[in-house]
Structure 1
């Protein structure tokens, strides 16, 4: 559901209509040339700020672990998500999609996200059907491409054109909702900014459980924290 760890509420501005951050479905598939991700929402997809791809308030992240369980790749999600993959998993590729940026990233040797040059993603926004499709060329992943053996995480956040320092363009969470701020956040510096996670209904732990299960910190420099200091997001496997 679109309340993060269970307490988050939408910003108060009218552009944040009910359901705009509520995932209805997340699908992973592939054809001969592409890996394909589809997000479907319960709420509307309105281009209220006039982006070139008809997407404004939402940010979609996808994390791909090509050797799940091997412990390679990066555990921390992109900057400002304040979440990590569970021990034993790590993303080898991340897709970052919002109205003004559509990028593929890889972690460097220190686990920091690095954008690949160009814009290899093709993003199709189908507003009438409340669906966003992301197509990634398979040749981007090298010669050993077997998506049925990979693991995935899909999350939905609120796009922010004026983010806090060190945050990759997603909206902050405050104790009380404001015009441009999500509400319901705890009084710590390492709570997540994720509003919804692609996670099966009825699965355990629940989204609310795993997004709220972390050690609260007052450390202002979140780069000083480790992946274990953030909420641990489980992966999906085909």
Structure 2
């Protein structure tokens, strides 16, 4: 049976838009222009925070032996305005990994300063912290502030920014299995050299933006301190903007505490497999 050119074109278009999930390497895309958290966030006013600095465009994780190689793409050329020495200054990212998709396995809490939690089915086993800060400083902050989560926080031994990409290499301590079956979530934040209180090197979001503070949120601790993340199926489709805003929706009590905390989910083939397994189980 002959295959029409239209059918081939449709298949090719679908493959281009789909996230790459193949054994030891996974790649996802994220829409541009959604670097506004739940839809209301605004950049700090200082010129070092140029438009697109926190706009995630793509993410790749590749397992090579006992190491993982990570690439993060952004919607602007990186700059080392604060002379951090790694080719970038203001960006920071947290890469959460769910290896087993089991409710009750892993953590639903996030490191301090993010003000988010994860759905029980998306509890994470490991989180990789990507920062322009020196490795020793990041590890010290993790040890002092991450509490019970600290043993599951991985800090890369090498991170570099060039062009529009940040690349990192991390030892895969405790991360075993097939990455194409894992769930991933990438949270984009801003490197903060003088974090408030117990925050893990993260920059706060306030009601009004300031020179070094994001605006559009709340002056309490009820709003998610997340500027961009992966959503939907990680294809970079326009619908994923709404999915991001929905995930980051929150409610504040009068005293600034969280009445409803932003609750995140993972992206990845493993999540699809889990959903299909549940549907099959329900049909029995």
Answer whether TM exceeds 0.5 for this pair.
yes
Is the contact made by 2:116 and 2:224 (CA closer than 8 Å) also made in structure 1? yes
| Residue segments in structure 2 that go unaligned for 5+ positions in a row | 1-33, 270-284
Aligned with 1:193 (options 205, 208, 225)? 225
Partner of 1:217: 253
For the structure 1 residues 106 and 162, does the alpha-carbon distance in structure 2 shift closer, same or farther, using more than 3 Å as the test?
closer
Is the contact made by 1:62 and 1:94 (CA closer than 8 Å) also made in structure 2? yes
For the structure 1 residues 31 and 8, does the alpha-carbon distance in structure 2 shift closer, same or farther, using more than 3 Å as the test?
same
The reply to whether residue 155 of structure 1 matches residue 187 of structure 2 is yes
Partner of 2:263: 232
Partner of 1:206: 243
Is the contact made by 1:92 and 1:106 (CA closer than 8 Å) also made in structure 2? no
Max Rg structure: 2
Aligned with 1:42 (options 61, 64, 75)? 75
Partner of 2:170: 136
Partner of 2:7: none
Secondary structure of 1:209's partner?
helix
For normalisation by structure 2, the TM-score amounts to: 0.71
Q: Distance in 2 between matches of 1:20 and 1:76?
A: 26
Deviation at 1:155, TM superposition (A): 1.0
Matches within 5 A, 1:168-187: 168-186=200-218
Is the contact made by 1:17 and 1:44 (CA closer than 8 Å) also made in structure 2? no
For the structure 1 residues 101 and 64, does the alpha-carbon distance in structure 2 shift closer, same or farther, using more than 3 Å as the test?
farther
| Residue segments in structure 1 that go unaligned for 5+ positions in a row | none
Deviation at 1:215, TM superposition (A): 3.5
Is the contact made by 1:4 and 1:208 (CA closer than 8 Å) also made in structure 2? yes
Partner of 2:114: 81
Partner of 2:275: none
Q: Distance in 2 between matches of 1:186 and 1:131?
A: 31
Q: Which moved more, 1:160-169 or 1:113-122?
A: 113-122
Partner of 1:166: 198
**Count of residue pairs brought into register by the alignment:** 226
Give the structure with the larger helix fraction.
2
Deviation at 1:169, TM superposition (A): 1.2
Q: Distance in 1 between matches of 2:223 and 2:242?
A: 18
For the structure 1 residues 59 and 122, does the alpha-carbon distance in structure 2 shift closer, same or farther, using more than 3 Å as the test?
same
For normalisation by structure 1, the TM-score amounts to: 0.83
Partner of 1:70: 103
Q: Distance in 2 between matches of 1:167 and 1:6?
A: 23
CA shift digits 1:113-132 (9 cap, x unpaired): 2157995532232x22x101
Note the aligned Cα RMSD (angstroms): 2.9
The reply to whether residue 27 of structure 1 matches residue 60 of structure 2 is yes
Is the contact made by 1:155 and 1:197 (CA closer than 8 Å) also made in structure 2? yes
